[in-house]
Structure 1
């Protein structure tokens, strides 16, 4: 039962980098290379045209998948850097909102 298999990444899925100089940063998966490697980009420091090849064991996959990014990649094979930045910002805004919901409203 207890398999240590890493879940397979999906195009448009957000991931947090665990190892490397970008450690702690969020990126979007823009290309699946094989069962071990993907390419990631954030649309800011790491643009789509210069995506970073990353071992998936060095990533923490998030449950959030950007439908806009996924649709763009499937239809035209690329995505704008603006859409990547928007997807990450949208996810992070949601995370902040979720954390605030757990705080006490007593003030």
Structure 2
């Protein structure tokens, strides 16, 4: 998978203390290491280095995060949390009633 395809992708940790947690890839370090965040335990200010072998990748990408990073705009933890929530909600079928 190329770098362009990984940034902004929703992944799940398969190993470590954060096992099972949904995370977003925010940077590719090399062909086996990436930086991941969840906006909570793993903040934008202190991302976690993870080996790709320890991540379960999904086909879901937070396009708003990718676009923002491509522009060079700073990323906030609340944006990361919202993006992960949106991707998980969309995966679960969503479709519920919205407030308002």
TM-score between both structures, scaled by the size of structure 1: 0.79
Q: Over aligned residue pairs, what C-alpha RMSD do you find?
A: 1.4
Deviations 1:19-63 (A, max 9, x none): 001000000001110000000001111110100000001000110
Say how many residue pairs are matched: 92
1:50 is paired with a residue of what secondary structure?
coil
**Bigger radius of gyration among the two:** 1
Structure 1 segments, 4+ long, off by >4 Å, are: none
Match of 1:56 among 52, 56, 68: 52
Match of 2:10 among 10, 14, 29: 14
Match of 1:23 among 19, 23, 42: 19
Structure 1 pair 35/78, CA: closer, same or farther in 2 (3 Å)? farther
1:97 is paired with a residue of what secondary structure?
coil
Return the alpha-carbon distance in structure 1 between the equivalents of residues 7 and 57 of structure 2. Answer: 11
Q: Any stretches of 5+ residues in structure 2 without a counterpart? A: 95-100
Q: Any stretches of 5+ residues in structure 1 without a counterpart? A: 1-6, 99-107
In the alignment, which residue of structure 2 is the partner of 1:82?
A: 78
2:57 is paired with a residue of what secondary structure?
strand
- Whether 2:64 is the aligned partner of 1:68: answer yes
TM-score between both structures, scaled by the size of structure 2: 0.85
